[in-house]
Amino acid sequence: MNKRPENLPDFTLPPLDEVVIGVQFEPSGNYSSIHAKDIWELFKGQGYPTPQEQPALDPSFETFGGLNPQPGINFKFGPPILHSRFWFISPDKNHLVQFQPDRFLINWRNRPEINPYPRFETIAESFEECLKALHKFFDRSLQSQLEINQAEVTYINIIPVNNLSCIREWLRFTNLDQIDLEGVNFNFSEAIKTGSGKPYARMSYSLQSVTSEDGKMNALKLTLTFRGKPEGTGIAEAMEFAFFGRSKIVTRFTELTTDKAHKQWNRKQ
Amino acid sequence: MSLAWKEGTTAFQDSQKARYIQPDQFIGSAFTSYRVVVPQNDSSWVRILEERLNELTSLPTGWDGYRGKPVSFQCAYFVANMLERLYQPNVPAPSLVPGSDGSLQVEWHRNMFDVELDVLDAQNIVATRVNCKTDDERVIEIENDFSEIVDWITALSSKKPHIVRT
């Protein structure tokens, strides 16, 4: 198993609600819906026995450049989607594998009453094992290579707050003391570049105010997503990308949140 | 928690409608010298190219009378993403020409320039610009960063480029 980088900030009680690791790849021309059961068999024995069918996600690529930091137009097109996305859910419902012909993802969600956060390394290890199983399946049964063209890591944090006006106590980049905040909806992003200045990934930040289902509790939902093109199309490069993305997310999360918050989340280093 | 949110990769997040209170999105700005980027879904690019992308992703195998491959859905999505980045309001929509190998060529022939972006696959583009006055030709390979060809597109504009501050 990969070891956690020694200098990476570490919290005993991080406000994590969900972690996602995923890849997008070139779909196999030989895949048809009839293979879905075989795919399920791959993951059933690895702790994901319960299937569910979901609408497929559209392809997505991180691109850079252009006059506008945000695209000026938005295309919606395409024939009716032929294939579904499948969820394979663990018995404790904490873990989930998602598969569709051009995507593979693993999700962990926080349910502290059942299991504590297993840490990124453990989730990544499961992801890599499952991805290798899928790679073998593509090779043996579909006579295709799994050529990864995008990878992503997402951390979703839920930070409970008494009222939104105390947002500054949690997040360094907000100073809204003069405003009696009713709601928050804030997105920003940064291009992540190689040493030579070439962009290859994007870090997206989203901050929203959320309320509990019974409407009694307020919280801030801070989502950090690292997404882009790994150095190569193989699993090793995708894993390297994912681990780098995790380090970037944890570093940025620590930079964006306050010392007081770190104390609450029991920062160890 | 219910497993209700199905649109993104973050599958476990609850239904936004059920759980979140979000303010209306702001779409204006007090500073008229700044341009707020709001997707212009009534633009000619969207009107013309959405229909064309629909046609191209629906091509059957052998569409060219031989063994022509259809344009893959991923390749078309990548092209759409690229065009969303390259869009400039004073530049007409490009022509989209399918290749028999499943590739997609994006072309402009205007203002004495031929600009051709040959999208061989997602994140694999050969970009060519020919200056018809001088016969100068420039060819570059692009993966996902279009910074180098923004000036090529600006030169196709019907108006002088204006400074955009965002």
Phi, psi of B128 (to 5 degrees): -130, 135
Specify whether A92 is located in the same domain as A126. Answer: yes
What is the per-residue pLDDT for B125? Answer: 97
Tell me, yes or no, whether A254 and A159 share the same domain.
yes
Q: Order of strands across the sheet with A85-89?
A: A50-54, A85-89, A95-100, A103-109, A16-25, A148-161, A218-228, A199-211, A185-193
Q: Is A63 on the interface with B (CB under 8 A)?
A: yes
Q: Is A79 in Cβ contact with B37 (below 8 Å)?
A: no
Q: Which residue has the tokens 């198993």?
A: A1
Q: Select from A130, A146, A162 the last residue of a domain.
A: A146
Touching check for A107 and chain B: CB below 8 Å?
yes
**Enclosing domain of residue A87:** 27-57+83-146
Do A104 and A193 fall within a single domain? Answer: no
**Residue A63 domain-assigned (yes or no):** no
> Both A17 and A31 in a single domain?
no
- Its sign, for the CA torsion B125, A71, B159, B98, is positive
Contacts of A60 in chain B (CB under 8 A): 77, 81
Mean pLDDT, contiguous 10-residue spans, chain A (269 residues) = 85 94 94 92 93 91 84 74 87 93 94 82 96 96 95 96 88 85 92 93 96 86 97 97 97 97 93
Are A31 and A131 part of one and the same domain? Answer: yes
**A164 within a domain of the structure (yes/no):** yes
Sheet holding B104-110, edge to edge: B95-98, B104-110, B113-121, B124-131, B136-142
Chain B residues touching A63 at Cβ < 8 A:
78, 81-82, 85, 144-146
Q: Which residues of chain B have pLDDT under 50?
A: 1-7, 14-35, 166
For residue A220, the chain B residue with the least C-alpha distance is: B20
How many separate domains does chain A show? 2
Of A117, A146, A175, which marks where a domain is finished? A146
Query: Hey, which residues 218-247 in chain A have their CB within 8 Å of chain B?
Result: 221, 223, 228-229
DSSP helix/strand/coil, B48: helix
**Checking phi first, is residue B93 left (phi over 0); if not, alpha (psi -120 to 50) or beta?**
beta
Tokens of A230: 């790994």
Strand ranges, E, within chain B:
95-98, 104-110, 113-121, 124-131, 136-142
pLDDT of the residue at B26:
29
B 95-114 residues inside an 8 A Cβ radius of A: none
| Cβ-based contacts of A229 with chain B (< 8 Å) | 123, 143-144
Residues A159 and A262 in one domain: yes
Distance between A214 CA and the closest CA of chain B, angstroms: 9
